[in-house]
């Protein structure tokens, strides 16, 4: 069942335009919207919440056209990056504020607050003022306040952006749990690709006020619609020519390198292939895999926390790979070192152009 | 090159100016004996003036706040055609001499169709206590608007958006969220409005006439008694006005001093 559908939604705010947004989210689905700063992500979800008026298009929520309904009549909750807990109310009062319009019975209200506080792990904080809470605690309260009245749709605008990595990981677990317990439909704006991987069923990539690509996470991440998306999700794009068909496998010539690719494109045309950085295997000795394995030079090593980004080059091709720090040390990788690169055929995606 | 350090110089100037001003207050206080002061307070005129000042000022303050809240909210939060013009017009009484405000009000309520309409339904503003309230109201309003709208501007509008999304309408959101969050600004603007009303002179004199024991507020008492040469009454009125100012400053400091919500 479809919970929300945006049809050609267009919004103008000063110089900024949101153009022809189309998006459909099924009931219970978790959708992430990702894109660079200024893409219009906040404007988009605030339009869904009813804070900006679109000049074109419709918003259909649970079968109702809510395009011209005020925010308070929509049944859509919103969670912001900076929590927006009411400073003049306690944690309990904040959560109760979210429920009062739906739950009139005082005893049921208390039970519901107890339940959500338990799930979000904030039972011990109920009598505190928001300003005395840590960022992670405040955000859990904000989420509790947003969902206690069981909204049809939960919007979150970069909810983890003000939190450190540890806290973010913990919060992802809370969000996952509550999403199932309350059967939530969620649109979550983020700039962190990890959110997409760990939470979302579907992902929409936004840039310049439009949605460039929308689909299942696996699909979008393995077959980016254009160079912007590829760049943004950090995937390798290569162009090559199919030289030989071997059953359900083909050989693709990229420059002077031969890759094995699993696809049913059988023509001798040029194709674009995509390889995720984490799908590139590296070793010091030649693995006995035949074609699909080649030698390359380590061009650059970028340390990135626990992971290391490796730039490998072979003639005109540059490939980005991601390895753990320990593995890099174990292989003794350094700039200028020659290594063997292997890519499994099923990890190479093909765009049929 | 042993010049006085600039910061030291600033401090010295500050101390000197406040010393001069403080001496002036002291001069006023020692001008009359406590007995004279008490005796002045006990006169019929002073009692009338004090009572009238308090009632008119409270009324004018109440009106300035009740009307100031929605106007300030509109100015702080909403965009509408002619907003800048409205802002300028409402600020005008702050920049213009009080006496000019008085004459414009006198003309408006004395010589226009509006004046005729009001007199037809029995409302007399010119040379009446009601005129005092009107003059005080317009003297206080710009200050009320300034403080209130800046206190609304400091509240992140997303508090209101969150409240709306949780099912509360615009008015309910204003009452339950915006108003409590702007409490400090509300108290400060009330104090300022009251102080402006109590001290309003030029506009009150022109519009309400400054009539002995009819439209006589404390500043008028001071003015009338100075012209009769009755120093003790004039100084007593001055002392009462200073007390009112001190209380106002105290309240504003208390409210403005970091207690405004983000
Ligand atoms: N109320 C507004 N008036 C005019 N321009 C706005 C307004 N709100 C946002 N914008 C502009 O819209 C663009 C998109 O903003 P936003 O949706 O916040 O981007 P992001 O994708 O980073 O969330 C920005 O260029 C911003 O300056
Ligand atoms: Mg944003």
The interface predicted TM-score (ipTM) is: 0.86
Q: What is the CATH number of the domain that holds A273?
A: 2.40.50.100
Same domain, A138 and A275: no
Last residue of a domain, one of A179, A208, A230: A230
Residue A244 covered by a domain: no
Contacting B with CB below 8 Å, chain A residues are 46, 49-51, 70-72, 74-78, 80, 82, 84, 86-88, 97-98, 101-102, 145-146, 149
Residue located via tokens 């505190």: A128
Q: Do A269 and A191 fall into the same domain?
A: no
Q: A292 and A222 in one domain?
A: no
Ligand 1 centre to CA of A30 (Å) is 24
Which residues make up the environment of ion ligand 2, defined by Cβ < 5 Å? A 42
Q: Is A138 exposed, middle or buried (0-12, 13-18, 19+ CB in 10 A)?
A: buried
Cβ-Cβ contacts under 8 Å for A340 (sequence gap 6 or more): A282, A283, A284, A285, A286, A287, A293, A294, A295, A296
Domain membership of residue A173 as a residue range: 2-230
Assigned token pair, A96: 């109760």
A56: CATH: 3.40.50.300
Q: Is the pTM higher than 0.95?
A: no
The lowest-confidence range among A51-60, A131-140, A274-283, B47-56 is A274-283
Same domain assignment for residues A309 and A185:
no
Whether residues A273 and A316 fall in one domain: yes
pLDDT in tens, A214-259: 999 988 987 888 888 888 888 888 888 888 888 778 888 888 888 8
Residue A224 shares a structural domain with residue A293 = no
The verdict on residue A246 lying in a domain is: no
**Chain A residues inside the 8 Å CB shell of B166:** 72, 77, 97-98, 101, 145-146, 149
The pLDDT, as a whole number, for residue B261 is 36
Same domain, residue pair A186 and A57:
yes
Residue among B165, B168, B167, B140 nearest B71 (CA): B140
Region A163-171: what's the mean pLDDT?
91
For residue A257, being part of any structural domain is answered with no
Secondary structure letter of residue A82 according to DSSP:
T
Q: Are residues A278 and A165 in the same domain?
A: no
Question: Mean pLDDT over residues A147-176, rounded?
Answer: 94
Domains of chain B: 32-260 (1.10.3720.10)
Instruction: Quote the number of domains for chain A.
Output: 2
Q: How confident is the model at residue A46 (pLDDT cuts 50, 70, 90)?
A: very high
| Residue A245 included in any domain | no
pLDDT, one tens digit per residue, over B158-213 is 999 999 999 999 999 999 999 999 999 999 999 999 999 999 999 999 999 999 99
**In terms of Cα–Cα distance, which of A140, A177, A180 is closest to A160?**
A140
* B261: nearest CB among A87, A101, A102: A87
At residue A288, the pLDDT reads: 72
- Pairing of β A236-246 and β A270-275: antiparallel
């Amino acid at each position: 069942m479809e919970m929300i559908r945006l049809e050609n939604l267009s919004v103008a705010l000063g110089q900024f335009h949101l153009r022809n947004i189309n998006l459909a989210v099924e009931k219970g689905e978790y959708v992430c919207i990702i894109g660079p700063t200024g893409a219009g992500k906040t404007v988009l979800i605030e339009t869904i919440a009813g804070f900006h008026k679109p000049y074109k298009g419709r918003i259909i929520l649970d079968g109702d056209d809510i395009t011209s309904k005020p925010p308070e009549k929509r049944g859509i909750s919103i969670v912001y990056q900076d929590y927006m807990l009411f400073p003049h109310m306690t944690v309990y009062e904040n959560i109760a504020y979210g429920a009062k319009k739906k739950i009139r019975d005082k005893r049921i209200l208390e039970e519901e607050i107890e339940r959500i506080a338990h799930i979000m792990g904030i039972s011990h904080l109920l009598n505190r003022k928001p300003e005395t809470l840590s960022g992670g605690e405040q955000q859990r309260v904000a989420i509790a306040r947003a969902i206690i009245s069981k909204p049809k749709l939960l919007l979150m605008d970069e909810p983890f952006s003000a939190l450190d990595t540890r806290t973010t990981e913990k919060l992802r677990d809370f969000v996952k749990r509550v999403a199932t317990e309350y059967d939530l439909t969620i649109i979550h704006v983020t700039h962190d690709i990890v959110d997409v991987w760990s939470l979302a069923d579907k992902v929409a990539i936004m840039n310049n006020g439009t949605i460039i690509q929308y689909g299942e996470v696996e699909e979008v991440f393995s077959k980016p619609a254009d160079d912007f998306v590829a760049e943004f999700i950090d995937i390798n794009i290569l162009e090559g020519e199919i030289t030989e068909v071997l059953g359900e496998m083909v050989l693709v010539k990229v420059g002077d390198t031969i890759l094995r690719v699993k696809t049913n494109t059988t023509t001798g045309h040029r194709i674009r292939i995509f390889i995720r950085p984490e799908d590139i295997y590296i070793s010091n000795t030649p693995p006995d895999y035949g074609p699909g394995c080649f030698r390359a030079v380590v061009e650059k090593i970028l340390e990135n926390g626990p992971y290391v980004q490796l730039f490998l080059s072979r003639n005109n091709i540059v490939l980005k790979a991601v390895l753990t720090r320990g593995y890099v040390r174990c292989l003794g990788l350094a700039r200028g070192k020659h290594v063997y690169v292997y890519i499994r055929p099923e990890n190479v995606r093909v765009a049929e152009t | 090159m042993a010049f006085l350090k600039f910061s030291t110089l600033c401090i010295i100037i500050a101390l000197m100016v406040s010393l001069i001003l403080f001496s002036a207050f002291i001069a006023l206080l020692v001008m009359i004996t406590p007995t004279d002061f008490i005796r002045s307070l006990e006169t019929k005129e002073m009692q009338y003036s004090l009572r009238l000042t308090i009632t008119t000022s409270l009324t004018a303050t109440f009106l300035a706040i009740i009307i100031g809240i929605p106007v300030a909210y509109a100015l702080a939060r909403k965009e509408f055609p002619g907003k800048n013009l409205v802002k300028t017009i409402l600020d005008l009484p702050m920049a213009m001499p009080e006496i000019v405000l008085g004459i414009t009000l006198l003309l408006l309520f004395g010589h226009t169709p509006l004046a005729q309409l009001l007199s037809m339904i029995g409302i007399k503003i010119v040379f009446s206590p009601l005129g005092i309230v009107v003059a005080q109201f317009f003297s206080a309003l710009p200050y009320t608007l300034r403080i209130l709208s800046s206190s609304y501007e400091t509240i992140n509008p997303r508090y209101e958006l969150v409240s709306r999304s949780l099912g509360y309408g615009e008015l309910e959101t204003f009452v339950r969220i915006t108003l409590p969050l702007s409490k400090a600004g509300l108290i400060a603007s009330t104090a300022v409005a009251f102080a402006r009303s109590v001290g309003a002179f030029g506009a009150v004199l022109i519009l309400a006439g400054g009539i002995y024991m009819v439209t006589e507020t404390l500043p008028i008492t001071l003015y009338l008694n100075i012209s009769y040469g009755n120093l003790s009454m004039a100084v007593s009125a001055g002392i009462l006005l200073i007390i009112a100012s001190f209380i106002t400053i105290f309240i504003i400091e208390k409210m403005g001093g970091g207690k405004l919500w983000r």
